[in-house]
Amino acid sequence: MKELFPRKQLLGFVSSLILTIVALLVYFLDFSFTVGLTILLITAFTQAALQLVVFMHAGETKDRGAIYTNIYYGIIIALLTIFGSLLALAWGYV
Amino acid sequence: MEFFERFAIPHPSPAIYASMVAIGLTVIAIIVGLTYFKKWGYLWREWITTVDHKRIGIMYLISALLMLFRGGVDAIMMRAQLAVPENTLLDSQHYNEIFSTHGVVMIIFMAMPFIIALMNYIVPLQIGARDVAFPRLNALSFWLFFMGAMLFNISFVIGGSPDAGWTSYFPLAGNEFSKSVGTNYYMIAIQIAGLGTLMTGINFIATILKMRAPGMTLMKMPMFTWSALITNIIIVFAFPVLTVALAMGTMDRLFATHFFTTGNGGMDMLWANLFWVWGHPEVYILILPAFGVYSEVIPTFARRNLYGYRSMVWSMVIICLLSFLVWVHHFFTMGQGALVNSIFSITTMAIAVPTGIKIFNWLFTLWKGKIRITTPMLYSLLFIPIFTIGGVTGVMLAMSAADYQYHNTMFLVAHFHLVIIPGVVFAMLAGLTYWWPKMFGFMLNERIGKWAAWLIGIGTCVAFFPMFISGLDGQARRMFTYSEATGFGIWNMIAFFGAIMLAVGFVLIVYNIYYSTRYASRDIPADPWDARSLEWATHSPVPEYNFAITPDVNSRDAFWNHKKNNQKLFKGDYQEIHMPNNSGVPFIMSALFFVFGFAMVFSVWILAIISAIGIFACMGHRSLEKDHGHHLSVDHIKETEEKLGGANS
């Protein structure tokens, strides 16, 4: 029976519910802007990762390598673009 | 009548009225011609509804050649205006419109479809596939591109052309300074074409990763396919930025948002930033397939295998990452500090390293090769020195301190033309000549082809070298005239002669196509160049299903070993082949996109809403329809193969 029980999916489902509740707390409780936004960013990205890995089966086929390479490359490009733009338009601007 | 006033041209001239008449007559001629020769059914069945990657490739090719001439006419007009000081051939407004459309047409509607044309035709053949991964999506890509291009091209006769440069910087491109609908056309037409390009990117990554012939590992792929893979990865990561930037720009212009305005919390520099976050990778989207073409042509005609295959692959992978790290070098003078400029100077110079590796690999491939100078090879040999000059001046521009001198001058114009023309145009012409027999079953005339290559090669140098000098002397780009006292006259006159040589070269290419269509021998082998990669293993022209039997690949030069070392390429017997069905939906949906775009440009909301509903209806139809494709029987394949001269020989 143990192999048949969808433990990973159930845990994933519960975790995503918890992440949603935590994100909702930002609306109902009175956090400062910085704290609120930090919570939202962390829960949002964890949620997205959870969706990809658990529910969209990112690592479960033989395309695993290509899929993860793509995701990591996407993250790298996104970070470079965001921080590069901040550097060019805000921080490095004199 | 008030409603129709918006369609008037804000700044008319006799030339534009003449173009209106010419366009009207051409449309009538096409409609009458198709009706008279009863070709409507043929056009619809064989071309408009096709999902065959080869036919889509040819349609891309025709569009690219048409746009090459549209952009070329713009270029000749600019060079003619600047040929003598204080010329009055064009006024400043027309000059602005012409250089803006020249840039957009050449990059987005000429270079892009040209590389996608070759990728479409060649990549599935090189990997031994029957079609791309998503044939229907491929048709949608083409028609979206085509409708975007047509929407952009009608701007100069309906409502006015964009006039804020091909970069369309805000605040100049905002409503305050660009009052005509021209910039709306820019935002929306490029958006529609860009959607098609993004789909192509996804389609080709899936095709190359999933549909290679058995035994063809990634490191056994032909170099053109490798370059296509890397290019499409860059497309998928870069084009969304353009999509977002164009959407924001459209909102600013049509719905009074404040993303790029100078007041109310908007940031005009953000446009320049986003534009070049897409724009610099775009340069590599154009150049990498060109490198791929050279990597096919040079080994074929040097009769050696490609030197440094692995380093070629790795240099492209590195370029794929570095191309996203250099965009700020397009606006060094915008006012950011020395630290930022230094960082982007260094990344820019770093990208010259992998490019240099590729140049040396081609030189080493030529070294001790038995070189045959054919037309494609001639383009490749002309490319290496001219491109290197363009590239080295790029490294000069990359030094941010020195860039304050070069910025916005003709020096820059000379640099990027000397990179893009040998890098993209020569490569596409080389590829066109090289793969022409595969596409059409006859060869282009070598004699006329070489004349054209020499004219274009020398014309490029004559047209753009003088700009280095006038640019260093201070001639600014995008200025519609200059005084005699500046001394720029002589350089611009020389450049004008170069432009004429280029024009003659391109006319010769058209003549060559005409001449060869009429007179060239149809009795040519499937592999007329004695080439190395799989696309030459099937018949010319290629049957619908590409390969009767899927090839079995066990080395980098599988076809070469098949020819020279008697390795068997096609194992087994004919089997039924599953092919996709044609569909008219991509065309209809893209036509609706055209109507939607046109309605948005002129703020005709009711029409925009109706056409948007139509677009969603097409998507709904696709979601619900059952389309299992069709099967070609073994008898049908046997018959076709026999007619084409027997397979597997």
CATH number, domain containing residue B437: 1.20.210.10
The nearest alpha carbon in chain A to B274 belongs to: A85
Tens of pLDDT, residue by residue over B550-590, are 998 888 888 888 888 888 888 888 889 999 999 999 999 99
Tens of pLDDT, residue by residue over B170-220, are 999 999 899 899 999 999 999 999 999 999 999 999 999 999 999 999 999
Average pLDDT over residues B315-338: 92
Euclidean distance between CA atoms B335 and B340, whole angstroms = 10
Please report the pLDDT score of residue A65 as a whole number. 86
Q: Is the model's pLDDT at A93 over the cut of 80?
A: no
Q: Is A81 part of the contact surface with chain B (CB cutoff 8 Å)?
A: yes
Q: Check CB contact under 8 Å for B337 and A89.
A: no
Interface residue of A61, A72, A73, A79 to substitute, partner B, most B CBs within 10 Å: A73
Q: Check CB contact under 8 Å for A85 and B337.
A: no
Euclidean distance between CA atoms A77 and B70, whole angstroms = 35
State the residue for tokens 């204080």: B86
Residue B20 maps to a domain: no
* B313-331 b/e (C-beta count within 10 Å ≥ 16 → b): bebbebbbebbbbbbbbbb
Euclidean distance between CA atoms B615 and B140, whole angstroms = 12
Which range (B313-327, B426-440, B451-465, B628-642) has the least confidence? B628-642
Please report the pLDDT score of residue B263 as a whole number. 85
Please report the pLDDT score of residue B649 as a whole number. 43
What are the CA-CA distances from residue B507 to residues B111, B430, B619 (Å)?
Answer: 18, 16, 42
Tens of pLDDT, residue by residue over B49-93, are 999 999 999 999 999 999 999 999 999 999 999 999 999 999 999
Residue B12 maps to a domain: no
Tokens representing B122 are: 């060649």
Residue B277 with chain A: CB contacts under 8 Å: 81, 84-85
Query: Three-state SS string across chain A, please?
Result: CCCCCCHHHHHHHHHHHHHHHHHHHHHHCCCCHHHHHHHHHHHHHHHHHHHHHHHCCCCCCCCHHHHHHHHHHHHHHHHHHHHHHHHHHHHCEC
Q: Check CB contact under 8 Å for B241 and A81.
A: yes
Strand partners, B21: none
Which range (B113-117, B540-544, B584-588, B645-649) has the least confidence? B645-649
What are the CA-CA distances from residue B360 to residues B230, B292, B295, B364, B367 (Å)?
Answer: 20, 15, 12, 6, 10
Across chain A, mean pLDDT equals 88
Euclidean distance between CA atoms B185 and A37, whole angstroms = 38
Residue B30 maps to a domain: no
Tokens representing B58 are: 């040819």
Nearest residue to B372 (alpha-carbon basis) of B559, B529, B558, B557: B529
Residue B267 with chain A: CB contacts under 8 Å: 89
Interface residue of B323, B328, B334 to substitute, partner A, most A CBs within 10 Å: B328
The nearest alpha carbon in chain A to B209 belongs to: A66
The H-or-E segment that residue B578 falls in is strand B577-579
Residue B212 with chain A: CB contacts under 8 Å: none
Tens of pLDDT, residue by residue over B232-242, are 999 999 999 99
Residue B340 with chain A: CB contacts under 8 Å: 87-88, 92-93
Q: Check CB contact under 8 Å for B270 and A84.
A: no
DSSP string, B88-117: -SS-HHHHHHHHHHHHHIIIIIIIHHHHHH
Average pLDDT over residues B471-494: 93
Residue B270 with chain A: CB contacts under 8 Å: 85, 89
Please report the pLDDT score of residue A64 as a whole number. 86
Residue B325 with chain A: CB contacts under 8 Å: 80, 84
- Single-letter amino acid code for the residue at A22: V
Contact between B244 and B274 (Cβ < 8 Å): yes
Euclidean distance between CA atoms B303 and B365, whole angstroms = 9
Q: Is A82 part of the contact surface with chain B (CB cutoff 8 Å)?
A: no
Residue B209 maps to a domain: yes
Euclidean distance between CA atoms B284 and B232, whole angstroms = 10
- Cβ atoms within 10 A of the Cβ of A85, count? 17
DSSP string, B188-215: HHHHHHHHHHHHHHHHHHHHHHH-PPTT
Q: Check CB contact under 8 Å for A92 and B340.
A: yes
pLDDT band, residue A94 (cuts 50/70/90): low
Q: Check CB contact under 8 Å for A81 and B337.
A: no
Residue A5 distance to chain B (closest CA, Å): 32
Tokens representing B292 are: 């791929």
Euclidean distance between CA atoms B388 and B292, whole angstroms = 17
- Give the pairing type, strands B577-579 and B630-632: antiparallel
Residue A80 with chain B: CB contacts under 8 Å: 324-325
State the residue for tokens 């030459």: B536
Across chain B, mean pLDDT equals 92
Residue A47 distance to chain B (closest CA, Å): 22
pLDDT band, residue A1 (cuts 50/70/90): low
Q: Is B579 part of the contact surface with chain A (CB cutoff 8 Å)?
A: no
Contact between B143 and B245 (Cβ < 8 Å): no
Number of domains in chain B: 1
Q: Is B324 part of the contact surface with chain A (CB cutoff 8 Å)?
A: yes
Give the nearest partner residue to B324 out of A77, A89, A92, using CB atoms: A77
- What's the pTM value of the predicted model, to 2 decimals? 0.93
> Which residue stretches of B303-426 are H helix?
309-322, 338-366, 375-398, 400-406, 410-420
Q: Check CB contact under 8 Å for B336 and A63.
A: no
Residue B588 maps to a domain: no
Contact between B178 and B172 (Cβ < 8 Å): yes
Euclidean distance between CA atoms B152 and B150, whole angstroms = 5
The nearest alpha carbon in chain A to B323 belongs to: A77
Residue B356 maps to a domain: yes
Average pLDDT over residues B353-368: 92
Q: Is A63 part of the contact surface with chain B (CB cutoff 8 Å)?
A: yes
Q: How many contacts, defined by CB atoms under 8 Å, are there between A and B?
A: 46
Interface residue of A61, A87, A91 to substitute, partner B, most B CBs within 10 Å: A87
Q: Is the model's pLDDT at B639 over the cut of 60?
A: yes
CA B509, chain centre distance (Å):
18
> Count of alpha carbons within 13 Å of A10, Cβ hemisphere only?
4
Please report the pLDDT score of residue B647 as a whole number. 45
Nearest residue to B473 (alpha-carbon basis) of B463, B461, B485, B457: B485
Nearest residue to B434 (alpha-carbon basis) of B447, B455, B454, B449: B449
Burial of B125 from C-beta contacts in 10 A (0-12 / 13-18 / 19+): buried
Burial of B140 from C-beta contacts in 10 A (0-12 / 13-18 / 19+): buried
The nearest alpha carbon in chain A to B336 belongs to: A93
Give the nearest partner residue to A88 out of B233, B241, B273, using CB atoms: B273
Tokens representing B17 are: 């009225």
Residue B523 maps to a domain: yes
Nearest residue to B506 (alpha-carbon basis) of B562, B466, B448: B448
Q: Angle at CA B206, nearest 5°, toward B200 and B212?
A: 120
Terminal Cα distance for chain A, rounded = 66
Residue B2 maps to a domain: no
Nearest residue to B473 (alpha-carbon basis) of B490, B496, B459, B458: B490
Residue A84 with chain B: CB contacts under 8 Å: 277, 325, 327-328
Q: Check CB contact under 8 Å for A93 and B327.
A: no
Q: Which domain covers residue B559, as residue numbers? A: 39-583+627-643
Q: Check CB contact under 8 Å for B328 and A84.
A: yes
Euclidean distance between CA atoms B27 and A94, whole angstroms = 55
